[in-house]
Structure 1
Amino acid sequence: MQPTPLINDLAKQIAEHLRAENPPAGTRLVERKLAEQFRVSRSPIRSALRLLHAQGVLGLAGSGGFITIDGRQASWPDHGATVTNEEAMYLRIAQDRLEGVLPERVTENELQRRYNMTRGELARLLRRILSEGWIERLPGHGWTFLPMLTSIESYKDSYRFRLVIEPAAILEPGFVLDRIALEACREEQQRLVDGQIWSVSSPALFDMNSKVHETIIECSRNSCLIDGLKRVDRLRRLMEYKQSLDRRYAIVRCREHVELIDLLLEERRQDASEFMRRHLSSVSVEKVINKVGAAQGISSADD
């Protein structure tokens, strides 16, 4: 029996989540947690896990259920650089919101009519947008879009803020290196450098690169710094999606991520802090130029 569109979509989302998080091989997948994360019942989650096992992404646990395998051995579904209809609709909604075409508050019926989607298609998109943190369900009826960075000045402010907190976080007295998480990030960034960057989608690239910075700042054990960066990442997410990314620049930033992580793994925190400052300074210049010159086709790397 052919999987339903919902199962195919869930399998893709779970695969992308696992590829981004890169949990250790043998990690057991808990259906209840996945159902809560993707806001569906456990039955379609179970079917999606079976599909991923059939595709060679997951292994079977001896006591039943599914476990992760070594990410280098997994047969990841090749989504390529092709933009699906659903992805195109997602990006259209994001752009309409950024440009003020969509009001702050909307109903599902309004979205269905505007974008000519079925209820199932819209439900999948809303689950994704909700999980990414730029929309919330209103009590009783409708949805509200959350604030995001749209002006040049607010965009500059976000990078000035990051320049303050991210280099400092590396030097926090409570800093404890999460070697396993950083090594997983390094492997992911190296795969991008080795060629994956030419096929991964812009949203996935944003998530991979944001993950590097969030993993590093989480080592600081400073909840205020951690929450501050994650809030900025949520606010700037759509702005990054809207920009046309030149992968020739993006691959440079991924190489810098590898170098930054290597400094941390070598316990050279002072050098890593200074490298982080240089990295963010150069990226911020690229991003602001890109935003100001978007109409002329200027593009930058995602970070």
Structure 2
Amino acid sequence: MPRALADVLATNIHQHITQSGMAPGTRLPERALAEQFNVSRSPVREALKRLAAQSVVAAHPDGGYAVAEGIAPASGAGVIEIETVDADEQTYLAIAEDRLAGRLEDRITENELMRRYGITRAQLHAVLRRMAQEGWIERRPGHGWMFQSVLTSAETYRQGYRYRLLIEAAGILEPTFRLDRDALMRCRIEQEGLANGGVRTASPAALFDANSRLHETIAACSGNVFILDGLRRLDRLRRLMEYRKAVDRDQAERRCREHLTLIDFLLEDQREAAADFMKLHLRNAVREKTSD
């Protein structure tokens, strides 16, 4: 179960209890909560377990959970909006978590995946297509699937950022650098939308895609095919590690605003300033993401 989703749901359910003025002992049916927050029952169940550990809810004698006695108001100004998470997305994230945790072997069959995650073959195929497009699984000749290498440790994650420090700033200073203004402006519009509130509700996958798209667009401007290829390969390797990390929305917003500064340096043809800022941006990112 993706931890970030359950944590957000726990906050939302807590706020729902306090803002609705629910009396202690009020039952909290999983099905009703799932319908209210537009998710399946599994993440609701995980969220209720978290709230039980915090004494916000308590086990009910007839099963399930009920509002506990004397709970404190939930922190936060309002309910956090959750991007709709359908069954395919939940399965995708569950497979990613199990793969990173070492619970799935390198080689696996569709039947094993269907049994493990309780899904149909059609649902599985949709998830496998996405995974294959992102480059972390491929079909084996004749039978089954094979997971590809991904970053799985804190040290390799840091090494990935050190590699990026070497190639991304250098790419901006390449003599073959040619600015793709239209592509960069599209990235700017996307980053501005995130910085102005979108980052608060975007999924980890959407944030990763938007941010990697910007960095790969800049790498493509370098005119050096090895810089672009190297960054794309690294992005495929680190994708699951990024999904697994809990999203700090304040940090994510700050990085989006840094992206806007970086884009503006490039649009103003201040390439040396952009290269220096790229190094600062990447150092800030790795420090924030590896501080825990």
Q: How far 1:80 sits from its partner (Å)?
A: 5.2
Q: What residue number does 2:289 align with?
A: 287
Is this contact kept in 2: 1:81–1:198, CA < 8 A? no
Q: Paired residue for 1:242? A: 244
Structure 2 letter corresponding to 1:219: C
Aligned to 2:174: 172
Q: Which amino acid aligns with 1:86?
A: D
Alpha-carbon offset, residue 150 of structure 1: 0.8
Q: Given the alignment of the two structures, is residue 189 of structure 1 paired with residue 209 of structure 2, yes or no?
A: no
Given the alignment of the two structures, is residue 233 of structure 1 paired with residue 235 of structure 2, yes or no? yes
Question: Matched residues in 1 for 2:198 and 2:158: separation?
Answer: 29
CA distance in 2: counterparts of 1:196 and 1:283, whole angstroms: 19
Taking the aligned partners of 2:199 and 2:88, their CA distance within structure 1 comes to 21
SS at structure 2 position matched to 1:121: helix
**Counterparts of 1:84 and 1:286, CA distance in 2:** 30
Aligned residues: 212
Matching residue of 1:276? 278
Match of 2:133 among 121, 131, 136: 131
How far did residue 153 of structure 1 move? 1.5
Which residue in 1 is equivalent to 2:147? 145
Q: CA deviation at 1:84?
A: 2.2
Contact 2:181 2:267 survives alignment (8 Å): yes
**Bigger Cα Rg:** 2
CA distance in 1, matches of 2:124, 2:271: 46
| 1:113-164 deviation digits (Å, cap 9, x = unpaired) | 1111101100100011111110011111110000011112111110110000
* Residue aligned with 1:144, SS: strand
| Bigger mean CA deviation after superposition, 261-270 or 150-159 | 150-159
Identity of aligned residues (%): 55
RMSD of aligned Cα (Å): 1.1
**Helix, strand or coil: the match of 2:231?**
helix
Q: TM-score under structure 2 normalisation?
A: 0.71
- Given candidates 215, 218, 229, the residue that maps to 1:216 is 218
SS of residue in 2 equivalent to 1:82: coil
Q: Distance in 1 between matches of 2:142 and 2:165?
A: 41
Residue from 194, 204, 208 that aligns with 1:202: 204
Which runs of 5 or more structure 2 residues have no equivalent in the other structure?
1-80
CA contact (8 A) 2:184 2:214 kept: yes
Q: Deviations over 1:199-224 (max 9, x none)?
A: 21110110000001000000001011
Q: Deviations over 1:60-100 (max 9, x none)?
A: xxxxxxxxxxxxxxxxxxx9523222211111100000001
SS at match of 2:99: helix
Show structure 1 runs of 4+ deviating over 3 A.
none
CA–CA separation in structure 1 for the residues paired with 2:178 and 2:186: 16
Counterpart in 1 of 2:89? Answer: 87
Structure 2 counterpart of 1:109: 111
Q: Give 2:157's aligned amino acid.
A: Y
Match of 2:158 among 153, 156, 159: 156
Q: Could you tell me which runs of 5 or more consecutive residues in structure 1 were left unpaired when the two chains were aligned.
A: 1-78, 294-303
* Partner Cα distance (1:120, 1:232) in 2: 30
CA contact (8 A) 1:172 1:220 kept: yes
